[in-house]
Amino acid sequence: MSSTTPLLVVGSVAIDSIRTPFGERERSLGGSATHCSVAASFFTDVGVVAVIGDDFSEEDEAVFHERRINTASLQRIPGGKTFRWAGEYGFDLNTARTLDTQLNVFADFKPQLSGAAKRSPFLFLGNIQPALQREVREQADARFVAMDTMNYWIENTREELLKTIAVVDAMIINDAEVRQLAGEPNLIRAVRKILSWGPQMLVVKRGEYGAALFTRDSYFATPAFPLEGVFDPTGAGDSFAGGFMGYLAQADKIDEVTLRRAVIYGSVMASYNVEEFSCDRLRRLKPDEIRDRFHQFKQFTHFET
């Protein structure tokens, strides 16, 4: 397949090993590109740009095919091993402790976009090295580009990161990262500072507390969906990004009404993703369930003036 998809997702495809207070899984399909593209695939056609090794099984690949994700740019390195991450969550599920990271084929990942991939109008740059994110951004003709990042890049490659931030339209990052990146404990001031560096908007993920959207002249916030059974938080942020970007790409516009709905769809996808290991819940998800939870968001946030 070499057709252009409305959304292109670049990032990691990983084989995770996960322990939570509720169970463990030795081999759990993960990675930012995986969680994001699977979530986005409920809204639009998605192409994924990532790298895998020989150990990536047919069963792993089936997850992409089931969701009709374009894998033309999912590069398999013969003799290589897929990126591995092992992590553990404590009782409150808020923070992962990394037990092991093996970059493997990801260490030499140098994404080269195909002609078809370059033409995707929406591009999500998952959490990878900021210089690579920028190289991809420069190859792409996308009219709307969003990026994620993490504390590691903020601490170790700050200058590269700032250059990348200057050339994207949106950042989708968590609140701790916003404060750390801006060096400012007040979230609102931290956001204003980052917006002054280039992006038109910041989407701030607050985990169990919800999400917020800041542009230069608007603000929107939502609580998270109230879940009694959070099982595995891995990929929550990436499935949020997938719902957000997938909905925008489907709508093919970037106005305030559409952006706010996209934040809710992102929240819906994250809420399902954390209910089971890996993409298990999303693999069984029905479009009706997405609509149901979207409308529940309306019900539990509505008040009369």
Binding site for its own copies (CB under 8 A): 91-93, 185-189, 192, 206, 208-210, 212, 219-223, 226-230, 257, 260-261, 263-264, 294-295, 297-298, 300-305
Nearest residue (CB) to its own copies, 27 versus 206: 206
Nearest residue (CB) to its own copies, 76 versus 192: 192
Tell me the closest approach of the beta carbon of residue 223 to its own copies, in angstroms: 4
Tell me the closest approach of the beta carbon of residue 209 to its own copies, in angstroms: 4
DSSP output for the chain:
--PPPSEEEES--EEEEEEETTEEEEEEEE-HHHHHHHHHTTTS-EEEEEEE-TT--HHHHHHHHHTT-EEEEEEE-TT---EEEEEEE-TT-S-EEEEEEE-GGGGG------HHHHT-SEEEE-SS-HHHHHHHHHH---SEEEE---HHHHHH-HHHHHHHHTT-SEEEEEHHHHHHHHT-SSHHHHHHHHHTTS-SEEEEE-GGG-EEEEESS-EEEEPPP--S-----TTHHHHHHHHHHHHHHHHT---HHHHHHHHHHHHHHHHHHTTSSTTHHHHH--HHHHHHHHHHHHHHH----
Nearest residue (CB) to its own copies, 208 versus 289: 208
Tell me the closest approach of the beta carbon of residue 243 to its own copies, in angstroms: 14
Tell me the closest approach of the beta carbon of residue 255 to its own copies, in angstroms: 11
Nearest residue (CB) to its own copies, 64 versus 297: 297
Tell me the closest approach of the beta carbon of residue 207 to its own copies, in angstroms: 10
Nearest residue (CB) to its own copies, 187 versus 279: 187
